[in-house]
Amino acid sequence: MSVCRFAARLCLVLCVAWMLEACATSGTVTRVQGDLSVIKHVLVLPFEDMAWLHGTNTSVRSPLTGQTFQTGPVEAEADRFLTDTLITALRQQTDLLLVNSRDGASIREALEQANGAKWSLAEIMAETGRRLGADAVIMGYVYRFRERVGGPYAAEQPASIAFDVCLIDCASAKLLWVAFDDETQLALSDDLLDISSFFRRKGRWVTAEEMAQTAMQRMFEEYPRR
């Protein structure tokens, strides 16, 4: 086969893959479930490691959304990394004012001990936010945060992540906004539908942290600004 014919076929394959990818669903999914315009002050609570609670290689439902995720290895400090990444995204991509408080976790724990049998998790989160002067509480769960094994161009094992983020209205204790990402990087030859990610990542095998940062940015791309 001549070089020209090979190049023409490659272009055709890439064009078809690009068109298919445009109709495909990204690993990042965001859902608006309420009026976000009423939210101004937000309390950020730390991510929780669901693999530590339930073990790896098991199906676990999100405590707040009911979405099911497959747990896997979670790197040390991944929960803290995701919390910091969430705070960065909120500051850079929204107009929300963050309620800075080190008491959020302790207040939540006290409320769970006192009212866990009669209050839902969302009600406990909402009351935690109310006590600290927030309009809403935002928090997340990490189910899988497996690091890449190998280098950027010769990985033995790709990065794999699964986490969700939930925004709870303190007035109604209802979910206003939820987002999640459940993704394992694949080679282009394994998934032509993900060709945009292939080019965005410059043909590299990315780290779990890079994958999570991109996912968090996507989650807030369309978050409304006042």
DSSP string covering the chain: --HHHHHHHHHHHHHHHHHHHHHSPPSEEEEE-S-GGG--EEEEPPPEEHHHHH-SSSEEE-TTT--EEE---B-TTHHHHHHHHHHHHHHHH--PEEE--S-HHHHHHHHHHHHTTTS-HHHHHHHHHHHTT-SEEEEEEEEEEEPPEEETTEEEE--EEEEEEEEEETTT--EEEEEEEEEE---TTT-GGGHHHHHHTTT----HHHHHHHHHHHHTTT----
Average pLDDT over the chain, rounded to an integer: 84
Architecture of the domain whose range is 27-219: 3-Layer(aba) Sandwich (3.40)
Residue-level pLDDT at 70:
97
Residue-level pLDDT at 5:
53
Residue-level pLDDT at 157:
82
Residue-level pLDDT at 190:
46
42: CB partners within 8 A, 6+ apart: 90, 96, 97, 98, 99, 134, 135, 136, 137, 138, 167
Residue-level pLDDT at 2:
56
Span 138-152, pLDDT tens digits: 999 999 999 988 766
Residue-level pLDDT at 203:
61
Below-70 pLDDT ranges, the chain: 1-26, 151-155, 187-203
